[in-house]
Amino acid sequence: MNNSKCALAHKRRRPTLIIRCINVVGFMDLFGVSMIIPLLSHHVKSLGASPTVAGIVGSTYGVLQFFSSTVVGSWSDVVGRRYSLLTCLLLSAFGYGLLGLSTSISLFVLARIPVGLFKHSLSICRALLSDLVSEKERPLVMGHFNAASSVGFILGPVVGGYLTEHEGGFYLSSFVCAAIFLLNAGLVWMLPWHETLNHCVDANANSKTKPSNSYNEVKNSVQQNCSDKKHIRRPNASAVRCQTNGGWGWRDMSVVQPAWRQLTSVWIQIRAVASSDMWDVFLVRLLMALSIMLYYSNFSLAMEERFELKPKVTGYLISYSSMLGALAGCLVGPVTNLYGNNMSALLLHSTALTCTLIFLYATAPNVWQVLLTSTFFAISTTIGRTCITDLELQRGGSQASGTLIGAGQSVTAVGRVLAPLLSGLAQEVSPCGPPSLGVVLGLAAVGLLFVRTPIWESKTKVKDKSPKQ
C-alpha cells in the first residue's frame, strides 16, 4: 500500500518539473521578442523606408502568421511537440540573427520571413501543456504559463531600451534575442521527455486502457474525423499524450517518415477542424480580439486628447495594466474552480464584463475612471483568453490540440490585420470611436454566447452520458 502511494506521488511530481521548464521557455520567449518589437519601426525607417513601405513591411509578419499558425500547429500534432518546438525555436533564432545583419530593407524583409513562418513556440508550448495535464487542471496550468510569458513581455523592453542606447543597439538586441532562442532550444532539448513517457505509461496502467503504439492508429482515428461533420472525435487521451510528448520515441513518431505523409496528415488534421462545428467559438475569439485591439489601438492618443495626459503618465498606466494582466494569470485556476470548470459560463461572464469595461472607458469623464476600468480590464481579458483557448480544446478534442491552438492564433492574426483599419475609420468620427466600435463588437460576442452556450452545454451533457449507456 505504501509502495503504491509512493509510486503515485512520484508520478505526480514528474509532469510538474516539465511544466516549470515550459514556463521558463515561455518567459524567455517573450522576453527576447519584446526586446525587439518596440525597435522594429524605428529601424526600418532608419533604413530609408517611407511610412507606406514601413507599414507594408510591418504587416508581413502578421500575414505569414495567419497562414502558418494552423499548419505548424497541426504539424506539431503529427510529428510530436519536441521535434516541432525545436524546429521553431532554431529557425526563429536564425531569423532574429539575420535581423541583426539587416542593413537594407530587403534583408529586413528576408529576416522577418522565417520568424513569421515559425515563431509558434508559444502555441506549441500550450499544446504540450494541454497534453500533460487533465482537462480540470488545464486552466490553472495555462494561466500560470500565460503569467510567466507576460512577465517576460514586460521586462524585455526594459533590457532592449538599455541596449539601444549603445552604438549599434538594434543589432546587438537582435543578436541577444537570437541567443535567447538558441538557449531556449537547448532547454527544450534537455527537458526530461522520458519522464513524460513514464507519466503516460503510468496513466495507461492506472486507467487499464491499452495504449496505442503505432502512428497509423492515431492517423486512422483522425481520418475518421474527416467524415464526421459535426465534431472532432476524441481517441484515447493517454495514447495521444504519449504520441505528442515523445512517448513513442523518435523512430515511431512521424519525424523520419516521408514529407508527403507528414503533409497528408497535416491536411487531415486541418480538414477535421475546418469541417467541425466550431465556427461559433472562433467567431467569438475574432470579435473579442477585435474589441480588445480597438481598446488599445489609440489609447495613448486618446489619453492625450481627452485628459491631456503626457505620454510618460500614459506609459505608467499601460505598464500598470500589463503587470495586473500578468498577475491575473494566477487567478485563472481559482476562478475556474469557483465556476466548477464551466468554461462556457465563465467565458460569457468575462466577455460581458470586458464589454462593460470598454464602454465605461469610452465614456469615462476623468482619469480615475480610466484607471479603475484598466484594473478590471486586465483581469477580465486574461481570464477570457484562457477560457476561449480551453473551450476550443474541450470542443475540438485533445488529439488535435496543436491544430486547434494554431487555428485560434490564425483567427487572432485576422484581428490584427483588421483592427488598424477599423480603428483608423472610427477615429475619423471621434477619439472615442475605436473603443465605441469595440463595445459593439463585444456586444455581438455576448449575444452569440447567449445563443450558443445552451447548445454547448447540452452537447456536453450528451457526451458525458453516452459512455454510460
Per CATH, which fold does 13-198 belong to? Growth Hormone; Chain: A; (1.20.1250)
Joined grid coordinates for residue 174: 537582435
Q: Can you tell me the distance from the alpha carbon of 65 to that of 139, in angstroms, rounded to the nearest whole number?
A: 25
pLDDT value of residue 88? 95
* CA–CA–CA angle 369, 380, 318 (5° rounding): 55
Residues near 217 by Cβ (< 8 Å), separated by ≥ 6?
Answer: 235, 239
Which whole-number Å values give the CA distances from 233 to 41, 120, 262, 278, in the listed order? 45, 25, 21, 13
Q: What is the largest CA-CA distance in the chain?
A: 73
- What pLDDT sits at residue 231? 42
CATH 1.20.1250.20 domain position(s) in the chain: 13-198, 276-460
C-alpha 358/C-alpha 125 separation (Å) is 31
pLDDT given for residue 59 in this prediction: 78
Residue 431 DSSP SS3: coil
Question: What pLDDT sits at residue 256?
Answer: 52
Ranges assigned E (strand) in 25-73: none
CATH number of 276-460: 1.20.1250.20
What is the phi-psi region of residue 50: left when phi exceeds 0, alpha when psi lies from -120 to 50, beta otherwise? beta
pLDDT of the residue at 201 = 45
pLDDT of residue 197: 54
- Global pTM reads 0.80
Q: Spell out the per-residue pLDDT of the chain, length 469, in tens.
A: 444 444 444 444 446 888 899 999 999 999 999 888 888 878 888 888 777 777 777 778 888 988 899 999 999 888 888 889 999 999 999 999 999 898 888 899 999 999 999 999 999 999 999 888 888 888 889 999 999 998 888 888 888 878 887 788 889 999 999 999 999 999 999 887 765 555 554 444 444 433 333 333 334 444 444 444 344 444 444 444 444 444 434 334 444 557 777 777 778 777 877 777 888 899 999 999 999 999 988 787 788 888 888 877 887 888 888 888 888 888 888 888 888 888 888 999 999 999 999 999 999 999 899 999 999 998 999 999 999 998 888 887 766 788 888 888 999 988 888 888 888 888 888 878 889 999 999 999 999 999 988 877 776 665 556 554 4
CB 132 within 8 A of CB 18: yes
